[in-house]
Amino acid sequence: MKTHFRTCPLCESTCGLELTVEGSTVTRIRGDKQDVFSRGYFCPKGRNLQQLHEDPDRLRRPRIRGRGEVGWDEAFDYIAQRWGGLIGEHGRDAVALYFGNPTAHAMGLFYYTGALVGSIGSRHVFSANTVDSVSKQVASGLMFGSAYSIAVPDIDRSSYLMIIGANPVVSNGSLWTTGGVPWRMRDLARRGGRIVVVDPRRTETAKIAHEHLAIRPGTDVYFLLALAHTLFAEDLVRVGLVEPYLSGMAELERFVADYSPERVQDVCRIPAQTIRRLARELAAAPAAAVYGRNGTSIQEFGTLCAWVTDVLNILTGNLDRPGGVMFPLPVSGGPNTWGKPGVGKGVRLDGPPSAVRGLPQVLGEYPAATMVDEMEAGNIRALITVAGNPVLSLPGGHRLGKALADLDLMISVDYYLNETSRLADVILPPPDPLQREHFDALLYRMAIRHVANYSPAVFPLEEGAMHEWEILSRLCVIATGGSATPEEFDERLAYDQAVRAAKSVGGVVTAEEVMAAVAPRTGPARLIDILLRSGPYGDAFGARPGGLSLDLLEANPHGLDYGPLRERVPEVLRTPSGKIEMMPVELEAELRRLVRALDREREGILLIGRRDVRTNNSWMNNLPGLARGRKPCHLHVHPTDAAAHALRDGAQVEVASKTGRIEATVHVTTDIMPGVVSLPHGWGHDEPDTLMGVAARDPGVNANVLTDPGPLDEISGNAVLNGVPVTLHPLPDRRRM
C-alpha cells in the first residue's frame, strides 16, 4: 500500500488529492489536508479520478476508421501518407486545429500544442477559449497589456464579493484559481464579509450568498455601468494608489453619465434604488471585489462586461489592493513577468480576416463559432482536434457534425470515441492523468496565492501507451516533413526555452548551462523546470541558492506556498502607454453597438446554460461514480412561464431557436427567473458509433443545437451561448402514451 499526493487536473481549482494505491489499483481518493493551497478540499470529480483510469470505454490504442484498433506506427504512417497529398493540393491553411478545454490542464498539451501550431503553419487555429474566456482576456489585454493579466479577487482578505454570472460553488472558480472556493467563501462570511450574487438563476452560489439579484440575461453591462455612474454621481470614486497610472478617467466619466440606474432598471430588471445601494456598499467596503465569469463572458457584450467589471474595481480603489482584485506573480512566469517591466506591446486583435465572414484573428485564433463556415465553404479540408468535443461544445454543434463528416482528413487526440471523435479517421488516445506528471503552469497565473505543486505520475505508462507530448511531437514531425525523431523535436523545444530563460535571468548562465542544469529531465518536466528556475522565485540555475526548482517541489509533495498576492502596479503593466487604459480606443465600436442595443425590444424567453458539480463539460459523463446523484439534463422553467405554455413539471417540451430544435423534460422551479430557461451543455450522448456506455444510458440533449454561431461578442469573437432567444411548445407526454 502506497500513498501518493497529487494535484487534481480536472478543473481550475488545483486541489491537492491523497491517493491510496494498492498494486495497480487506487483504493481511495480524498482531499490532501496538508496541501498548502486547498487544505483538504476536493469534489466528486476528484474523488472519482481513478474511474477514468479504469474506464473500460477509455481508448488505449489508436484507431483508424474502418480498421479498428491499430498500432502507433500504423496510425502515424497512415497520417503521414495522407498528409503530403493534402498539403500539396490545398496548402497548409486547409488544415484546422481545434484545442479543447483540457489543453489548459495538462503539461504535455499546454506546451506541445503551441509547437503543433508552429509546425502545421496554418492560420486556422481554433480553441474552446473563444466559447469561454477570450472576451475577458481581450478586456484585460486592452486595459493592462496582456491577455493573462487577469486581476483575481483576493478572497481571503476581502470583505465584500460581488459575483456576476458565475457559479463558483459548482464550477470551483474560473480564471480564478482558488484551491477550494466554497470554503473560502464561507470564511469570508464568517469574518463578517458580504457576498452578493447577480444571476438569472438562484444558483448554488446564490443560495449561500447574503443577497441574490435576478438579472435579465445579456443586460449585465448596463447594470455595471449604472454602478459606475452612481460612483461618479455620488462622489464615491476613490482610486487609491493606482491613481498615477490611470488613463482615460475623464472620458470614462463622460461615457457612464448616460447610464443612470433609472435609465437601465427596466432593461436589467433590477430596481434603481438597489443599484444605488450596491454602489454605495462597494464604495464603503474596506476591501471589495467584483468578479464575473461565464454568464458575463459568453454573451453578447462579453468584453464590455469584463472591462466595466475592472473599471468598478478601479473606481472603488480595489485594483491592486489586498482584499480587492490583484495580479498574481506566478511561479512559472507569464506574459506579465517576461520582458521589460511596466510597458509592452499590448495585445493583437486585428489578425488576418477569415475568408467567409471576414472575422479577424484575435490573440492568434479565429472564433471557433466560424470553423463550420470555413469547412462548409471548402477552405478547411482537414482537422486535428486535441482534447476537444466541438460537436457538443460549439454553437450549431449539429451543423458542425455534418461538416466534419465531409472533411478529407480528421484526427482526434482524445480518450474517448465520442460525438466528435467518432467522425475522425484516426484517433490517438493519450494516457490518463494518473499515468502522467502534472503541473498547473497556466492556472497558477490566476491563483490567489503564490503556490507551486508538482505531481509525478502515479502509475507507469500502460503497455502500448504513448505520452501525450510524444503523440503531439510525432504529429509535429509529420507536419514539418522532417526526419527528426520526437526526442530530437523535444530537445529543440527545450533549447529554445533555455535561450529565453538564460536571457531572463540576466545572462548569469548560457543556454547550454541551462540545458546541463536541467538534465537528465526530458519532455514537459524539463520545460517546467526551466520555467520555474528562471521564474520570479527560481534558483536561476544555481545563482540564487535555495530558489525554486522541480527538485525542490519533488521534495515537497504538498506543495510550496510563496505567500499571498502583493501589489504589482505599475511593474505588471504591458500596455504600450505604460498606463492602465480605462477607456481603450479599441472599444469604440463596441460602445456604439452597446448604445444602439439599449432601447431594443426585450420580450420573449431567453436560454442560458447550467453546470453540475458532477459533470465536467461534455466529457466525464461516462464515469459511474459521477452518474450517480447527478442532476439530469432538464430544462428549468419558472412557474409563470410553465403556466403560460401549459407545461407541468416532468412534461416534454420542444425548445426551438433560430438554428434548431430539441426535445427536453421540463423541471418547474422558482430558482430561475421568469422569461429565462436553463439547459446544461455537454449532453447529447446518443450519437451512433460512439463508445461511452454509461453516458449513453442517460444521454440528455445537445443544448448547442439551439445556440447560434452567427452573433458574437464582436471585438473578441467570443460566442454568445447565454441569452439565446427560444420558443417553447408542449409535446404529448411520452410516459402516458
Ligand X SMILES: Nc1nc2c(c(=O)[nH]1)N[C@H]1C(S)=C(S)[C@@H](COP(=O)(O)OP(=O)(O)OC[C@H]3O[C@@H](n4cnc5c(=O)[nH]c(N)nc54)[C@H](O)[C@@H]3O)O[C@H]1N2
The x, y and z cell numbers of residue 611, run together, are 453546470
Nearer to ligand SF4, 14 or 534 (CB): 14
Query: In the stretch 205-244, what mask flags binding to ligand X with x, by CB under 6 A?
Result: ----------x-xx-x------------------------
Q: How far is the CB of 8 from ligand SF4 (least distance, A)?
A: 3
Q: How far is the CB of 298 from Mo ion (least distance, A)?
A: 9
Q: Which residue type occupies 126?
A: F
User: In 3-state terms, what secondary structure has residue 410?
Assistant: strand
Q: Which residue spans within 582-680 are E strands per DSSP?
A: 605-608, 635-637, 652-656, 661-668, 676-678
Whether residue 609 contacts residue 703, with contact meaning beta carbons closer than 8 Å, is answered with: yes
> Cβ–Cβ contacts within 10 Å for residue 593, how many?
16
Query: In the stretch 211-250, what mask flags binding to ligand SF4 with x, by CB under 6 A?
Result: ----------------------------------------
Q: How far is the CB of 564 from ligand X (least distance, A)?
A: 23
Q: How far is the CB of 173 from ligand SF4 (least distance, A)?
A: 8
Nearer to ligand X, 165 or 344 (CB): 165
| C-alpha span between 655 and 216 (Å, rounded) | 19
**Piece of 128-136, 153-161, 282-290, 319-327 that binds ligand X (CB under 6 A):** 128-136
Q: Is 178 in the site for ligand X (CB under 6 A)?
A: no
List the strands of the sheet with 160-164, edge to edge. Answer: 211-213, 194-198, 160-164, 288-292
Q: Is 43 in the site for ligand SF4 (CB under 6 A)?
A: yes
Nearer to Mo ion, 132 or 529 (CB): 132
Whether residue 198 contacts residue 211, with contact meaning beta carbons closer than 8 Å, is answered with: no
Q: Is 53 in the site for ligand SF4 (CB under 6 A)?
A: no
Whether residue 561 contacts residue 356, with contact meaning beta carbons closer than 8 Å, is answered with: no
Name residues contacting ligand SF4, limited to 422-481 (CB under 6 A): none
Residue from 32, 35, 55, 132 touching Mo ion (CB under 5 A): that is 132
Phi and psi torsions of 50, nearest 5°: -70, -20
CB under 8 Å to 658, separation ≥6 — which residues?
708, 710, 725
Whether residue 547 contacts residue 553, with contact meaning beta carbons closer than 8 Å, is answered with: no
Q: How far is the CB of 178 from ligand SF4 (least distance, A)?
A: 9
Q: Which residue type occupies 87?
A: I
Whether residue 590 contacts residue 304, with contact meaning beta carbons closer than 8 Å, is answered with: yes
Q: How far is the CB of 12 from ligand SF4 (least distance, A)?
A: 7
Nearer to Mo ion, 132 or 470 (CB): 132
CB under 8 Å to 628, separation ≥6 — which residues?
none
Return the CA Rg of the chain: 25
Nearer to Mo ion, 162 or 721 (CB): 721
Name residues contacting ligand SF4, limited to 156-215 (CB under 6 A): 172
**Cis peptide bond prior to 9, omega within 30° of 0:** no
| C-alpha span between 447 and 591 (Å, rounded) | 31
Whether residue 100 contacts residue 386, with contact meaning beta carbons closer than 8 Å, is answered with: yes
Q: Is 619 in the site for ligand X (CB under 6 A)?
A: yes
**Piece of 240-248, 332-340, 403-411, 717-725 that binds ligand X (CB under 6 A):** 717-725
Nearer to ligand SF4, 45 or 216 (CB): 45
Q: Which residue spans within 189-244 are E strands per DSSP?
A: 194-198, 211-213
CA atoms within 13 A on the CB side of 34: 9
Q: How far is the CB of 319 from ligand SF4 (least distance, A)?
A: 27
Residues forming beta bridges with residue 656, ordered by sequence position = 661, 727
Q: Which does 42 bind (CB under 5 to 8 A by kind): ligand SF4, ligand X, Mo ion, none?
A: ligand SF4
| C-alpha span between 143 and 152 (Å, rounded) | 14
Q: Which does 203 bind (CB under 5 to 8 A by kind): ligand X, ligand SF4, Mo ion, none?
A: ligand X
Name residues contacting ligand X, limited to 151-170 (CB under 6 A): 164-168, 170
Q: Is 303 in the site for ligand X (CB under 6 A)?
A: no
Nearer to ligand X, 135 or 203 (CB): 203
Angle between helices 486-504 and 523-534 (to 10 degrees): 0
Q: Which does 418 bind (CB under 5 to 8 A by kind): Mo ion, ligand SF4, ligand X, none?
A: ligand X
| C-alpha span between 562 and 274 (Å, rounded) | 40
Name residues contacting ligand SF4, limited to 5-24 (CB under 6 A): 8, 10-11, 13-15
Nearer to ligand X, 337 or 718 (CB): 718
Residue from 18, 132, 310, 713 touching ligand X (CB under 6 A): that is 132
Nearer to ligand X, 323 or 388 (CB): 388
Helix, strand, coil abundance in the chain, percent, nearest 5: 40, 15, 45
Nearer to ligand X, 298 or 647 (CB): 298
| C-alpha span between 686 and 42 (Å, rounded) | 31
Nearest to 401 by CA among 650, 39, 709: 709
| C-alpha span between 161 and 291 (Å, rounded) | 7
Total residues contacting ligand SF4 by CB under 6 A comes to 11
Q: What is the DSSP letter of 431?
A: P
The x, y and z cell numbers of residue 336, run together, are 506579465
Q: Is 45 in the site for ligand SF4 (CB under 6 A)?
A: yes
Torsion sign across C-alpha atoms 390, 166, 722, 350: negative
**Piece of 42-50, 295-303, 497-505, 508-516 that binds ligand SF4 (CB under 6 A):** 42-50
The x, y and z cell numbers of residue 321, run together, are 489592493
CB under 8 Å to 644, separation ≥6 — which residues?
none
Nearer to ligand X, 299 or 361 (CB): 299
Q: 40: burial class by Cβ within 10 Å (0-12, 13-18, 19+)? A: middle
Total residues contacting ligand X by CB under 6 A comes to 64
| C-alpha span between 87 and 83 (Å, rounded) | 6
Nearer to ligand SF4, 14 or 51 (CB): 14
Residue from 312, 409, 413, 565 touching ligand X (CB under 6 A): that is 413
Query: In the stretch 662-681, what mask flags binding to ligand X with x, by CB under 6 A?
Result: -------------------x
Q: Is 36 in the site for ligand SF4 (CB under 6 A)?
A: no
**Piece of 19-27, 124-132, 403-411, 490-498 that binds Mo ion (CB under 5 A):** 124-132
**Piece of 16-24, 323-331, 484-492, 715-723 that binds ligand X (CB under 6 A):** 715-723
* 3-state DSSP of 121-179: CCCCEEEHHHHCCHHHHHHHHHHHCCCCCCCEECHHHCCEEEEECCCHHHHCCCCCECC
Q: How far is the CB of 9 from ligand X (least distance, A)?
A: 7
Residue from 616, 659, 665, 718 touching ligand X (CB under 6 A): that is 616
Nearer to ligand SF4, 38 or 332 (CB): 38
In terms of phi and psi (left: phi > 0; alpha: psi -120 to 50; beta: otherwise), the region of 317 is left
Q: How far is the CB of 11 from ligand SF4 (least distance, A)?
A: 3
Residue from 148, 416, 439, 683 touching ligand X (CB under 6 A): that is 416
Using CB under 6 A as the criterion, which residues of the chain lie in contact with ligand SF4 when the complex forms? 8, 10-11, 13-15, 42-43, 45-46, 172
Q: Which residues bind Mo ion (CB under 5 A)?
A: 132
Chain residues that interact with ligand X, rule: CB under 6 A: 11, 100-102, 106, 109, 128, 131-132, 164-168, 170-172, 174, 198-201, 203, 215, 217-218, 220, 293-296, 298-299, 386-390, 393, 413-416, 418, 430, 468, 608-609, 611-613, 615-619, 681-682, 703-704, 707, 721-723
